[in-house]
Chains A and B, each alone.
Chain A
Amino acid sequence: MQYLFESLGKAISLIVQCDTELALIVWFSLKVALISTMAASVVGIPAGFAIYLNEFRLRRVLITVLNSLLAIPTVVIALFVYSFLSRRGIFGSLNLLYTQSAIIIGQTILVIPMITIFVVSALSHLDIRYRKTAMTLGADRRQIAFLLLHEAKFGVAAAIAAAFGRVISEIGVSMMLGGNIKGVTRTMTTAMALEYDKGEFVLAVALGMILMTITLGINILINYFQGNINERYG
């Protein structure tokens, strides 16, 4: 027990002193996770709208596939992307493996299904009359999409926040595609794994505390969004 308390004390002083290595790792993780979440949102939100608004064959199949992709382990995505980015793969010449871009690509692919499915679900919770009224008033599909986006904005925001929570806390993609290079691709989770490898826990405990604070903040945010949804429609 004493060991744990000692590590905790040192970790807190590391955070308070704003240790450069720690700050760099945190900053880098946030940056990568933000870019991945943005890129995934840009793909996932329109995809969610497209699935919701259009009737097509295999729609249910697509939704089932996306749902099952939510549970896919990060290492599977990493392995898949690795096979493309490695020099043996078709994008090998782009020199992307073991770079920040590689992590971003992997994380983006990881959360696109998540955002898509959450957006579909947020839209499905809307009252169908919004859409019908807009149609009777002569709105075109684009106007309907914007109307629905406005009505479902909390659900969409919750989808983005949940995706951010997933990428900031994943390790498989960061480790396999980033390579845990010091000062370049070392994220909070890979740094924690390395410290654990070394049998040293101070930095890992400090990072763990920061990570938990971030995920707690995200969940408060999601809760806030969902509260807004329930107030409106609950």
Chain B
Amino acid sequence: MKAVLLSSVLRVILVLVVCFAVSVLPCSAQEVVKMSTTTSLLDNGLLDALLPVFKASTGIEVHAIARGTGAAILDGRDGNADLIFVHARELEEQFIADGYGLKRCPIMYNDFVLVGPQQDPAAINGLNDIVAAFCKLASSPATFVSRGDESGTHFLEKKLWKEANTQMPAAGYLSVGQGMARTLLVAFEKQAYTLVDRATFLNLNQGDDETSHLVIHCEGDKKMHNIYTLIAVNPKMHPHVNLAAAEKFITWIKSAPALKIITEFKVANTSVFFPIKED
């Protein structure tokens, strides 16, 4: 009996190994770079516009994993990604200071906007100062939807609450822990305020009933600038990372054809990303 059991166990292991070998093979046939990124870049379609062109010109396939800035940086720290594409300056600088990232390469920017219901229960429409708007929000009966997922957007939101030196009352604060587009949809369904990048907001399909559409209440404050940065993971920390391919991607995305795609990328007929010139 023991011998039978042993031989069947051996057979099981053999089959498992073959199964995994078969499923791994097609992946390792070509060069791949793993990039952990924010949800917004995947949600609004920019990566779908960029990555196939990069693959066509270099043969390198970029595997984009959309996880939000906090999780993307964690992927970089753990060595689960070769490259991160994120937007939270303080976190990025910390990431590099800790030795996990090589260099911040700012690629493009857009801006955040504070959106909310047309009735504007917090009466913040037209305010230029985002911190003042947050103060007013906190003392109003309005509802605010937060990403709550340690993403770049959530990070900025926390920073703004800190600067405003106040908090939403617990009853009016919904922390949903989801990606940008879904958070925005929650705000839409609940007729609440939320902080969102302009591209995702323009991309939102709000349906035919215009009275329920969310509108932009506060925009243009310098604090709402949203800079997207690429950082290659330091091979000193994680010797296995594909630095050559990561650097190729960084060089390519700063080249004229890639910048053209970024500049011409439109959501609802509006340009949403603006390349950052080399300093």
The chain A residues found within 8 Å of chain B, CB to CB, are 2-3, 32, 35, 38-39, 42-43, 46, 50, 86-88, 92-93, 95, 97-101, 104-105, 141-142, 179-182, 184, 194, 196-200
Contact = CB atoms under 8 A, between A and B. Distances in A.
A93 B78 CA distance: 11
B19 A3 contact: no
Contacts of B20: 101, 104-105
B51 to A, nearest CB: 8
B181 interface: yes
A142 B181 CA distance: 58
A197 B179 CA distance: 7
Contacts of B63: 98, 179, 181, 184
Interface of B is mostly: helix
Contacts of B268: none
A43 B12 contact: yes
25 contacts: A32-B23, A35-B22, A35-B23, A39-B19, A42-B11, A43-B12, A43-B16, A87-B79, A98-B34, A100-B23, A142-B4, A179-B65, A181-B63, A181-B65, A182-B48, A184-B27, A197-B43, A197-B178, A197-B179, A197-B181, A198-B43, A198-B203, A199-B184, A199-B204, A200-B205
B188 to A, nearest CB: 9
Interface of B: 1, 4-5, 8-9, 11-12, 15-16, 19-20, 22-24, 27, 34, 39, 42-44, 48, 51, 61, 63-67, 78-80, 178-179, 181-182, 184-185, 203-205, 207-208, 238, 240
B4 A141 contact: yes
B2 to A, nearest CB: 11
B80 A42 contact: no
A47 to B, nearest CB: 9
A87 B205 CA distance: 39
Contact of A95 (B184, B204, B240): B240
A198 B19 contact: no
